[in-house]
A and B are shown apart, each in its own frame.
Chain A
């Protein structure tokens, strides 16, 4: 069994929008999701947030349109055959420029978003390429500093949410000693298929941060219950998850079968919580869980004053 190391992660907060993680190199056009100062491809310190780049492109486009209108106006003035024609062309052109400028100011915010959408759509292959480069960079630092590699993968996973990155993160987390004060994730790490390391990680999360066990995790555990049971300490993992599910009445109602199967293994505080939940709502459809609770209460906690 590998020895787990105590580690400290740098604080991390996922941005509200995933694209906020992206930066583009103004020199080579490479995209990155990592927080480095310099571009991984060309080494220049020319990285700029993607929304700033889009806003700058939108601004330039608007300026070009105004400039074109100005040129047409100037040409119209130049070709005027009389002073009256020249004045009329100049005044007409000025009105058009003013109208376009006014409209541009009104739609600027929306145009920035249009530009961002176009930029991302046009460069999706380059973005993929950049993120792959980021992933390779994370794998490259793995041997020297696995915490740094994990942190890099965590940043990339804001954009790349496939099983590949999640699997690598789970494998790295397996070597770390998890603590309550750590910035941990779970739902983002769930895979499509069964992975023993992930099941082990879920068991540890149920112990240190049970509030991270939510619907998707419970569904995952329910789907792969048989495989987890075959693992060493598989029953402990399932009991831990069942204990975490007792946190909310909704989970107890939805996963009453799973909780019922491990009710004997629940620690006293979890069992007490479950017992109180059921006592508070005796008319809910507990799917036989109320019977099981009554039996366990009678068998194990008959003389316990807490019940």
Chain B
């Protein structure tokens, strides 16, 4: 019985992880987003000078 419970936990864990990956994959981050956020955080949200 314990064996099946543990397998069930493993199953749930795998499903949760896979769905997290899948949801992140549906809305992927881009390098431009990351760059923009970093520059805004460092420069107090001022627009870039480029």
Binding site for B on A (CB under 8 A): 17-19, 65, 68-69, 72-73, 75-77, 79-81, 85-86, 88-89, 92-93, 96-97, 99-100, 103-104, 106-107, 110-111, 113-114, 116-117, 120-121, 124, 127-128, 131, 159-162, 166, 187-188, 190
Binding site for A on B (CB under 8 A): 1-4, 6-7, 9-11, 13-14, 17-18, 21-22, 24-25, 28-35, 37-39, 41-44, 46, 48-50
- Contact yes or no, A68 B35, CB < 8 A: no
- In the assembled complex, the Cα of A235 lies from the Cα of B37 at a distance in Å of 41
- Contact yes or no, A161 B46, CB < 8 A: yes
Q: How far is the CB of A217 from chain B (nearest CB, A)?
A: 12
Q: Of A85, A97, A161, which contacts B43 at CB under 8 A?
A: A161
- In the assembled complex, the Cα of A17 lies from the Cα of B10 at a distance in Å of 39
Given contacts A96-B14, A99-B14, contact A117 B49 (CB under 8 A): no
Q: How far is the CB of A40 from chain B (nearest CB, A)?
A: 18
The 21 listed contacts between A and B (C-beta, < 8 Å) are A69-B13, A72-B6, A72-B13, A89-B7, A92-B10, A92-B11, A93-B7, A96-B11, A100-B14, A100-B17, A107-B25, A113-B28, A113-B30, A120-B41, A124-B38, A131-B42, A159-B38, A159-B39, A160-B42, A161-B39, A187-B50
- Contact yes or no, A113 B31, CB < 8 A: yes
Given contacts A93-B10, A99-B14, A114-B24, contact A18 B39 (CB under 8 A): yes
- In the assembled complex, the Cα of A97 lies from the Cα of B28 at a distance in Å of 24
Q: Of B34, B46, B48, B50, which contacts A117 at CB under 8 A?
A: B34
- In the assembled complex, the Cα of A88 lies from the Cα of B34 at a distance in Å of 44
Given contacts A17-B31, A73-B10, A188-B50, contact A103 B39 (CB under 8 A): no
- Which residues of B are found within 8 Å of A79, using beta-carbon distances? 2-3, 6
Q: Tell me the interface secondary structure of chain B in the complex.
A: helix
- Contact yes or no, B7 A120, CB < 8 A: no
Contacts between chains A and B (CB distance < 8 A), count: 120
- Which residues of A are found within 8 Å of B13, using beta-carbon distances? 68-69, 72
- In the assembled complex, the Cα of A121 lies from the Cα of B10 at a distance in Å of 31
- In the assembled complex, the Cα of A266 lies from the Cα of B9 at a distance in Å of 79
Q: How far is the CB of B50 from chain A (nearest CB, A)?
A: 7
- Contact yes or no, A17 B18, CB < 8 A: no
Q: How far is the CB of A108 from chain B (nearest CB, A)?
A: 10
Given contacts A120-B37, A127-B42, A188-B49, contact A89 B21 (CB under 8 A): no
10 nearest interchain CB pairs? A72-B10, A76-B6, A79-B2, A96-B14, A80-B3, A113-B29, A17-B35, A79-B3, A107-B21, A76-B7
- In the assembled complex, the Cα of A160 lies from the Cα of B28 at a distance in Å of 27
